[in-house]
Amino acid sequence: MKYKLKCTACNKEYSPENIEYTCPGCQGILRVDYDYEKLKSTLTKDVFAENPIKGHGRYIDLLPLEKHTSLPPLDIGPTPLDDVKRLRQHLSLNNLFIKNDTTLPTGSFKDRASSVLVAKAIELGKKIITTASTGNAATALAGMCASVGLKNKIFVPQTAPKAKLAQIAMFGGDLIPIKGTYDQAVSLCREATEKFGWYNRNTGYNPYTIEGKKTAALEIWEQLGYQIPDKLFIPTGDGVILSGTYKGFYDLKQIGLIDKIPAIIPVQAQGSAAIVRALLEDSEQVSPLNDVQTVADSIAVGAPACGDFALQIVRSTKGFGVMVSDDEIVAAIKELATFTGIFAEPAAATAYAGLKKAKQEGLVAKEESIVVLITGTGLKDVPTAMKAVSIPDAIEPNLQYIST
């Protein structure tokens, strides 16, 4: 086997043949550890630069799969790392980039993990895969399953934006909306996994979601000419996008291709900020929130699956947490769109709102290299975006009604 599983909480190591989800000892999240010593001699920059494989299968040496051809046929990335010149001027940040994951096949970052998990399910011979999701992981999983014909069971809060529910139904996923929160959907999905023997893709539970998510970091490193940025702003709910992005840089560091990991900066909505609150209070552990309220549905999480691991990551990379209000999030959707042409869903715009706040508080410097991860398209939640704009009244088709 090309990797081992190591518990991020108790450090115990396991062989992947014997284990599917969390640490049997302490229930900690398992990290995939590759044979980094061997990779040091085989995986050089030139190997990356000359790799002809399209989509994120190009990173097969760092994926927990037997072969890249197990991946679904929907190409994942590389998504653009946009040179947002006008936004740079606006914010006086000369080396700002947007990692534009709105352009992935189902419109969100979650396609990365779902692609890898569907491939894993195929390699393991699983017949049914399941997930609980605020919406994006669900549409991503249903889409990837559609492309290969794998059965799927999708748990989402019934309050998920209609566009996301429509996408899941469209892909032929077995959609199970529940009268409850995302956290309740996660619990129910876990119970169903145990009872019915389905394969569970859940974030912060299945060790391979992080592996799929890390390809964003690998792309950023390649797109910056095999350099890392100074800071990464990441919209955060469960803390798994954060953990996944970190893992990409971690792998590169273990192989000796980079010598440090960028500062990882989670941005959360005020009404759903379990991780950032723990950072601000210097807590060792994340305390779950009973009540979660935010317009940013994709990061509305009370009990973050990767909460404690996220705290470790932010601290070890000398990052910091940022909280923003729903009003700031809605305004950020509009401002980001107006200065870049990138239309983000509320959760994704949260990362940009966090950058703005960090700038105002003097936490980022003009020449620092900064990447903001924009994780989902605004087309997934038009009603929320409409809070920031209005459509003018229609005119009769006559020149006299046109103002210049």
Q: Terminal CA-to-CA distance of the chain, rounded, Å? A: 67
Comparison of 143 and 262: residue with beta carbon closer to its own copies: 143
Give the per-residue contact string, 186-215, with its own copies (x = CB under 8 A; - = no). Answer: -xx--xx--xx-------------------
Stretch that binds its own copies, among 180-188, 212-220, 274-282, 304-312 (CB under 8 A): 180-188
Q: How far is CA 196 from the centre of its chain?
A: 28
Q: Which of 61, 172, 312, 325 binds its own copies (CB under 8 A)?
A: 172
Verify binding: residue 73, its own copies, rule CB under 8 A.
Answer: yes
Verify binding: residue 54, its own copies, rule CB under 8 A.
Answer: yes
**How many whole angstroms separate alpha carbon 372 and alpha carbon 364?**
12
**How many whole angstroms separate alpha carbon 312 and alpha carbon 300?**
21
Site for its own copies in 343-382 (CB under 8 A): 343, 377-380, 382
Name the DSSP letter for residue 13: E
**Amino acid identity for residue 263 in this structure:** A
Stretch that binds its own copies, among 31-39, 59-67, 82-90, 229-237 (CB under 8 A): 82-90
**How many whole angstroms separate alpha carbon 130 and alpha carbon 346?**
25
Bond from prior residue into 78 cis (ω within 30 degrees of 0): yes
Burial bucket for residue 52 (CB in 10 Å: 0-12, 13-18, 19+): exposed
Verify binding: residue 53, its own copies, rule CB under 8 A.
Answer: no
Give the per-residue contact string, 275-304, with its own copies (x = CB under 8 A; - = no). Answer: ------------------------------
Site for its own copies in 112-171 (CB under 8 A): 142-149, 153, 158, 162-163, 165-167, 169-171
Q: In angstroms, what is the minimal distance from the CB of 379 to its own copies? A: 4
Verify binding: residue 102, its own copies, rule CB under 8 A.
Answer: yes
Q: Number of residues interacting with its own copies: please give it, by CB under 8 A.
A: 82
Comparison of 179 and 285: residue with beta carbon closer to its own copies: 179
Q: Which of 50, 125, 360, 399 binds its own copies (CB under 8 A)?
A: 399
Q: Could you give the residue ranges of the DSSP H alpha helices within 266-325? A: 274-280, 307-316
Verify binding: residue 390, its own copies, rule CB under 8 A.
Answer: yes
Comparison of 278 and 300: residue with beta carbon closer to its own copies: 300
| Strand residues in 203-253 grouped as ranges (E) | 231-235
| CA-CA-CA-CA dihedral for 51, 53, 55, 61, to nearest 10 | -70
Q: Which of 45, 85, 318, 366 binds its own copies (CB under 8 A)?
A: 85
**How many whole angstroms separate alpha carbon 300 and alpha carbon 291?**
10
**β-strand 81-83 against 95-100: which pairing, if any?**
antiparallel
Token look-up 């990464």 returns 232
Verify binding: residue 216, its own copies, rule CB under 8 A.
Answer: no
* Residue 13 CB neighbours (<10 A): 11
Q: In angstroms, what is the minimal distance from the CB of 69 to its own copies? A: 10
Q: In angstroms, what is the minimal distance from the CB of 232 to its own copies? A: 19
101, two tokens: 């994951």
Verify binding: residue 393, its own copies, rule CB under 8 A.
Answer: yes
